[in-house]
Amino acid sequence: MDTKKVWFVTGASKGLGLSLIKQLLQAGYKVAATSRKAHDIDAVINDHKENLLVLTVDITSENSVDDAVAKTIAHFGRLDVIVNNAGYSIYGSVEVLTNEEFRKTIDVNLFGTVNVIRAAMPYFRKQRSGYVFNISSVAGYKGFGNSPSYAAGKFAVIGLSESLAEEVKQFGVKVTVVAPGFFRTSFLDKGEELVSKNTIEEYQVEGLVDRLRAMNGKQPGDPEKLVAALIKLSNEQNPPVHLLMGPDAYQIVMQKRNAEQEEFEAWKELTLSTDLDEHQKGASPKF
């Protein structure tokens, strides 16, 4: 492994982000670790601080992200891997989520990711190398009721990653969008902010939240194994663009794909019925 690489990790104060920076530092990598509250990182990292740059960053602010990436390069002299890990979710139906609540989810999950990529790409393009990890979710492949804003953001991250991979492969830059299932992190450690301030009883959002809270601390995925896999993947010559993480993620996505295929085939006749008739195809358009 090339431990000279410099990593830039968002959402590094807890969960997958914290597990990742700990393993990177233990392996000898240099790490810029970002969070809205940098002191939260300082409070839990005791060793290898000579290779750690802790930055307070609001990823929804383009200026904040640009400044953080510039400080990283000034401090370490280079940048090699970015990990867009920071995430946010709030539960509630499309009907009840306020504009502010929906936009906050998109701002963090999508525009925060875009801001980091946009800031890093000039350096990656110039050095003709780099790696972008975008953390999506199994909810980026299958939408679940009462979490539409999260699904919208995570679906978008997958589409963004696919487009980015096509754009930057000419520069030697690699892109992998990671879709974890349920991993035993602090992601579900929330109080009332877990649910929209508005509720409509018929949507039964509390049932979903109760199930998630009951699952908290019992998730099957091991975050240490996930981040170890990402570190290993960063040294691969031909890594995947799409990566599902966890048996639950694989099962959910495969079931979704099979259901989609059945639905497409069931409506294939209607799908194929919309072309111009043969005698019209050569006709000039009329205005």
Q: Taking a C-beta distance cutoff of 8 angstroms, is the pair 205, 146 a contact? A: yes
Q: What is the pLDDT of residues 118-175, one digit of tens each?
A: 999 999 999 999 999 999 999 999 999 899 999 999 999 999 999 999 999 999 999 9
Report pLDDT for 188. 53
Residue 275: inside a domain, yes or no? no
Please pick, among 35, 64, 136, 196, the residue that the annotation labels catalytic.
136
Number of domains in the chain: 1
Residue 232: inside a domain, yes or no? yes
pTM of the model: 0.91
Burial of 78 (0-12, 13-18, 19+ CB in 10 A): middle
Query: How many whole angstroms separate alpha carbon 57 and alpha carbon 66?
Result: 10
Q: Is 22 a catalytic residue?
A: no
Q: Is 104 a catalytic residue?
A: no
Please pick, among 154, 174, 203, 234, the residue that the annotation labels catalytic.
154
Q: Is the dihedral of CA 265, 267, 269, 271 positive or negative?
A: negative
Which residues, in sequence order, are bridge partners of residue 135?
A: 178
Residue 49: inside a domain, yes or no? yes
DSSP state of 221: B
Q: Is 203 a catalytic residue?
A: no
Residue 30: give its domain's CATH number.
3.40.50.720
Q: What is the rounded average pLDDT of the residues 267-285?
A: 85
Residue 225: inside a domain, yes or no? yes
Please pick, among 150, 161, 196, 203, the residue that the annotation labels catalytic.
150
Residue 259: inside a domain, yes or no? no
Q: What is the pLDDT of residues 211-252, one digit of tens each?
A: 777 666 566 578 999 999 999 999 999 999 999 999 999 999
Residue 281: inside a domain, yes or no? no
Confidence of residue 37 (pLDDT cuts 50, 70, 90): confident
Range of the domain at 186: 6-247
Residue 92: inside a domain, yes or no? yes
Residue 287: inside a domain, yes or no? no
